[in-house]
Structure 1
Amino acid sequence: MNLQQYTSEFRYNLKLAAPVMLGMLGHTFVSFIDNIMVGQLGTAELAAVSLGNSFMFIAMSLGIGFSTAITPLIAEADSSNNFEQAKSTFKHGLFLCTMMGIILFLLVFFSKPLMYLMKQPVEVVELAIPYLDLVAFSLIPMIVFQGFKQFSDGMSMTRYPMYATLIANVLNVLLNYLLIYGKFGFPKLGIVGAAYGTLLARFVMVLYLWWLLSKKERSKRLVTNIKFFVLDTLMLRKIIDLGTPSAMQMFFEVGIFTAAIWLSGLLGKNPQAANQIALNLSSMTFMVATGLSVASMIRVGNQKGLENYKELRRIAFSIFFLGTILAVIFATIFFVFHKSLPNLYVDLSDAKNYTDNMEVMKIAANLLIAAAIFQISDSIQVVMLGALRGLQDVKIPTLITFISYWVVGFPISFFLGTKETYSSFGIWLGLLAGLTTASILLFIRFNKLTLQLIKTKHNELT
Structure 2
Amino acid sequence: MTAPKPFREHLAAHLTLGLPLIGSHMAQMAIGMTDTIMLGWYDVEALAALVLANTFHMVLFLFGSGFAFAVMPLVSAAAEQGDDTRVRRVTRMGLWISAGFALAVLPLLWFSAPLMKLMGQEATLAEGAQTYLRIMGWGIIPALAVMVLKSYLSALERARVQLLVVIAAAVANAGINYLLIFGNFGAPELGIRGAALASLAVQVISVLVLALYAVNRFPAHRLFHRIWRPDWEALREVAAMGWHVGLTVLAEVGLFSFSAILVGLLGTVPLAAHGIALQIASISFMVPLGMSNAATVRAGRAFGRGDAPALRQGALAAFSLGLGWAALAVVLFLSVPALLVGAFLDPAEPLRDEILAVGRGLLLMAALFQLADATQVIAVSLLRGMQDTRVPMMIAASSYWLIGAPAAWVFGIALGLGAQGVWLGLVLGLAAAAAMLGTRFWRSSGALTTA
**Match in the other structure for 1:58:** 59
Partners of 1:445 and 1:377 lie apart in 2 by 15
- Taking a change above 3 Å as real, the CA distance of residues 118 and 199 of structure 1, as seen in their structure-2 partners, is same
**Match in the other structure for 1:164:** 165
- Taking a change above 3 Å as real, the CA distance of residues 347 and 301 of structure 1, as seen in their structure-2 partners, is same
Give the drift of 1:9. 2.2
Give the drift of 1:386. 1.0
Deviations 1:280-304 (A, max 9, x none): 3322222221211111111111111
- Gaps of at least 5 residues in structure 1 are 457-462
Is 1:455 the equivalent of 2:450? yes
- Taking a change above 3 Å as real, the CA distance of residues 135 and 433 of structure 1, as seen in their structure-2 partners, is farther
AA at the equivalent of 1:332: V
CA contact (8 A) 2:182 2:191 kept: yes
AA at the equivalent of 1:302: R
Which shows bigger deviation, 101-110 or 44-53? 44-53
The TM-score normalised by the length of structure 1 is 0.87
Alignment of 1:259-408 (within 5 A): 259-267=258-266, 271-348=270-347, 354-355=349-350, 363-408=358-403
Give the drift of 1:46. 5.4
Partners of 1:183 and 1:177 lie apart in 2 by 7
- Taking a change above 3 Å as real, the CA distance of residues 135 and 287 of structure 1, as seen in their structure-2 partners, is farther
Which shows bigger deviation, 447-456 or 425-434? 425-434
Partners of 2:240 and 2:363 lie apart in 1 by 38
Q: Tell me, what secondary structure is at the counterpart of 2:91? A: helix
Which shows bigger deviation, 242-251 or 153-162? 153-162
**Match in the other structure for 2:92:** 91
Measured on the aligned residues, the alpha-carbon RMSD in Å equals 2.8
Alignment length (residue pairs): 447
CA contact (8 A) 1:91 1:226 kept: no
Give the drift of 1:127. 4.9
Give the drift of 1:383. 0.7
**Match in the other structure for 1:459:** none
Which shows bigger deviation, 176-185 or 374-383? 176-185
AA at the equivalent of 2:310: E
- Taking a change above 3 Å as real, the CA distance of residues 377 and 262 of structure 1, as seen in their structure-2 partners, is same
Give the drift of 1:149. 0.9
AA at the equivalent of 1:378: D
AA at the equivalent of 1:374: F
Partners of 2:449 and 2:415 lie apart in 1 by 52
**Match in the other structure for 1:23:** 24
CA contact (8 A) 1:6 1:314 kept: yes
Give the drift of 1:96. 1.2
Q: Tell me, what secondary structure is at the counterpart of 1:156? A: coil
**Match in the other structure for 1:104:** 105
AA at the equivalent of 1:355: P
Give the drift of 1:429. 2.4
CA contact (8 A) 2:113 2:127 kept: no
Partners of 2:368 and 2:208 lie apart in 1 by 39
Partners of 1:143 and 1:262 lie apart in 2 by 28
Deviations 1:304-346 (A, max 9, x none): 1111112211111211111100111122223333223344444
**Match in the other structure for 1:144:** 145
- Gaps of at least 5 residues in structure 2 are none
Identity of aligned residues (%): 30
AA at the equivalent of 2:174: V
CA contact (8 A) 2:180 2:188 kept: yes
Give the drift of 1:275. 3.5
Which shows bigger deviation, 242-251 or 171-180? 171-180
**Match in the other structure for 2:247:** 248
CA contact (8 A) 2:145 2:207 kept: yes
- Taking a change above 3 Å as real, the CA distance of residues 223 and 287 of structure 1, as seen in their structure-2 partners, is farther
Which shows bigger deviation, 364-373 or 180-189? 180-189
CA contact (8 A) 2:136 2:200 kept: yes
AA at the equivalent of 1:233: W
**Match in the other structure for 1:197:** 198
- Taking a change above 3 Å as real, the CA distance of residues 264 and 193 of structure 1, as seen in their structure-2 partners, is farther
Give the drift of 1:138. 2.2
- Taking a change above 3 Å as real, the CA distance of residues 45 and 265 of structure 1, as seen in their structure-2 partners, is farther
Deviations 1:385-420 (A, max 9, x none): 111011001111001000111111112233444498
Give the drift of 1:450. 0.9
CA contact (8 A) 1:72 1:390 kept: yes
- Taking a change above 3 Å as real, the CA distance of residues 292 and 424 of structure 1, as seen in their structure-2 partners, is same
AA at the equivalent of 1:283: S
Which shows bigger deviation, 88-97 or 368-377? 368-377
CA contact (8 A) 1:70 1:90 kept: yes
Partners of 2:336 and 2:449 lie apart in 1 by 45
Partners of 1:361 and 1:30 lie apart in 2 by 27
- Taking a change above 3 Å as real, the CA distance of residues 198 and 346 of structure 1, as seen in their structure-2 partners, is farther
Query: Which of 431, 434, 443 does residue 439 from structure 1 map onto?
Result: 434
Alignment of 1:173-252 (within 5 A): 173-216=174-217, 219-252=218-251
The TM-score normalised by the length of structure 2 is 0.89
Which shows bigger deviation, 50-59 or 70-79? 50-59
CA contact (8 A) 2:117 2:123 kept: yes
CA contact (8 A) 1:47 1:269 kept: no
- Taking a change above 3 Å as real, the CA distance of residues 29 and 331 of structure 1, as seen in their structure-2 partners, is farther
AA at the equivalent of 1:198: S
Partners of 2:254 and 2:135 lie apart in 1 by 22
Partners of 1:22 and 1:54 lie apart in 2 by 23
Give the drift of 1:427. 3.0
Which shows bigger deviation, 412-421 or 150-159? 412-421
Partners of 1:307 and 1:181 lie apart in 2 by 56
Partners of 2:274 and 2:183 lie apart in 1 by 28
Give the drift of 1:111. 4.3
Give the drift of 1:238. 1.2
Partners of 1:124 and 1:424 lie apart in 2 by 26
CA contact (8 A) 2:91 2:223 kept: no
CA contact (8 A) 1:71 1:153 kept: yes
Is 1:117 the equivalent of 2:118? yes
CA contact (8 A) 1:180 1:190 kept: yes
